[in-house]
Structure 1
Amino acid sequence: MTKAERTRHFIVEKAAPIINKKGMAGTSINDIVEATRLTKGSVYGNFESKDEICLEAFDYLAKRVGADIVMAMSRANSNKDKLFALFEYYLAVVSQENTYGCPLLNFGTEADDTNPIVKQKVNKAILATENLIAKVVRSGIEAGEFKRSFDPETFSIKAFAMIEGGMWIARLQGNNKQLQIILDSLKQEIDDYCQ
């Protein structure tokens, strides 16, 4: 990595949690300058605009979340346990201080009507997560863990939407009660499809 690439990465790494918390519109270039302790000229010497930083911040956060999910699921032996590990990952994330919620939800909500490029990136990340869930369900069906009547696509869409909604409620209410109910319901559905 060149010095310029390291500097860009450093700026994105420091800016990403701020943008995830305050939003793209709510984050000022001064917030980024303060977090990086670089000059405004140095920040703008590496990025053309705050929007460019926001785009890379989303990519950075989405990549981290994806890697964390894969890591959590990789520790499980069965496909059922992989899905349960995914659910526990989301529950742990919502419980952690300073995570500021799911970047897909945060960026997606803000970009819905205002930023088609970010909206497209969020849609791509949503589909990747749904595809991951569906892939695990399909693998479980092929391995004989799950009944053939278990619909991978329907379950993945439902699970993702329910989890994101539960995370949103948990962040707003400051407790995990609804998210836990959602995850327990999804676990029960998985158990119902086990052979």
Structure 2
Amino acid sequence: MANQRKNDARKAIIDTASRLFYKQGYVNTGINQIIEESGVVKSTLYTAFRTKEDILMEYLISSGAATDLALLNASKSGKDPKAQVLAIFDFLIDMVQGDEYYGCNFLNLISEISTDAERIVKQIQKQKNGVRNLFKNILEPIDKEDLADEIYILFEGALIANKVHHQKWPVEKAKKIAAQILS
């Protein structure tokens, strides 16, 4: 019973912090706000996590896994490697139009944190390298894995341009360029 309460409290902290980090940013989210909105007491939070950065790491790990799975699943709707890559861009087009989309959470965070926050930077790089590897793995069967980084740069650039313009056209243009590259 005590373990279940600990797990429930930990989940409430992570869920609350994840929502707040994504919506308002890491720097703008305070421990007291996480405590208040999660409904846990301060001692429970500090029993589960030593620091705010520890909460952030858990957020990055869990959201990274969810993002990787979503991109992989999106790719599976394509019948061949080119269609699989383009399906990922279609997924992005749908995602950036969502009411609760505030930009790529990893790119948002990397712009907020100090470059000397090594474990955070490494976790973000790990997730982004996972996206690069996804493109590489998709393109390997057609001997075009050398184009994976170009496709990845289009993917990231589309996310950044969308953040600036708040419109879907950057992702649509990146998809069009990816299709041309893969022809």
Q: TM-score range by the shorter chain?
A: 0.7 to 0.9
> With structure 1 as the length reference, what TM-score do the two structures score?
0.83
Within 5 Å, which residues of 2 pair with 1:2-13?
2-3=3-4, 4-13=6-15
Alignment partners' CA distance in 2, 1:31 and 1:53? 13
Q: What is the deviation of 1:7?
A: 2.6
Name 2:174's counterpart in structure 1. Answer: 182
Is the 8 Å Cα contact of residues 89 and 172 (structure 2) preserved in structure 1? no
Instruction: Output the amino acid matched with 2:81.
Output: N
CA distance in 1, matches of 2:112, 2:94: 24
Q: Give the 5 Å matches for 1:128-167.
A: 128-139=130-141, 141=142, 148=143, 150=144, 152-153=145-146, 155-167=147-159
Structure 1 contact 16–60 (Cα < 8 Å) conserved: no
Check if 1:115 corresponds to 2:117.
Answer: yes
Contact 1:72 1:86 in 2 (8 A): yes
Which segment drifts farther, 68-77 or 54-63? 68-77
1:144 corresponds in structure 2 to: none
Distance, in Å, in 2 between the alignment partners of 1:126 and 1:42 is 32
Q: CA RMSD in A?
A: 1.8
Structure 1 segments of 4+ aligned residues over 6 angstroms from their partners: none
- State the partner residue of 1:63: 65
Cα distance in 1, alignment partners of residues 101 and 37 from structure 2? 16
Residues 76-95 of structure 1, C-alpha deviations (whole Å, 9 max, x = no match): 33222211111111222211
Report the equivalent of 2:50.
48
Counterpart position of 1:98:
100
Give unmatched runs, 5+ long, in structure 2: none
Q: Is residue 62–residue 103 contact of structure 1 (8 Å, CA) maintained in 2? A: no
Relative to the length of structure 2, the TM-score reads 0.88
Q: Which shows bigger deviation, 118-127 or 72-81?
A: 72-81
Q: For 1:158 and 1:92, locate their aligned partners in 2 and report how far apart those are by CA, in whole Å.
A: 22
User: How far apart are 1:130 and its partner, in Å?
Assistant: 0.4
1:167 is displaced (CA, Å) by: 1.4
Distance 1:111 1:158 in 2: 26
Structure 1 residue 42, shift from structure 2 partner: 2.4
* Structure 1 residue 160, shift from structure 2 partner: 1.7
Deviation at 1:122, TM superposition (A): 0.9
**Deviation string for 1:26-62 (max 9, x for gaps)?**
2111221233122233222321111110111111111
Are positions 1:28 and 2:30 aligned together?
yes
Cα deviation code 1:3-45 (max 9, x no counterpart): 2234323321221131123322221112212331222332223
What is the distance in 1 between the residues matched to 2:163 and 2:23? 12
1:112 Cα deviation (Å)?
5.3
Matches of 1:17 and 1:172 in 2, distance apart? 21
**Whole-angstrom distance in 2 between the partners of 1:121 and 1:5:** 23
Cα distance in 2 for residues equivalent to 1:68 and 1:6: 25
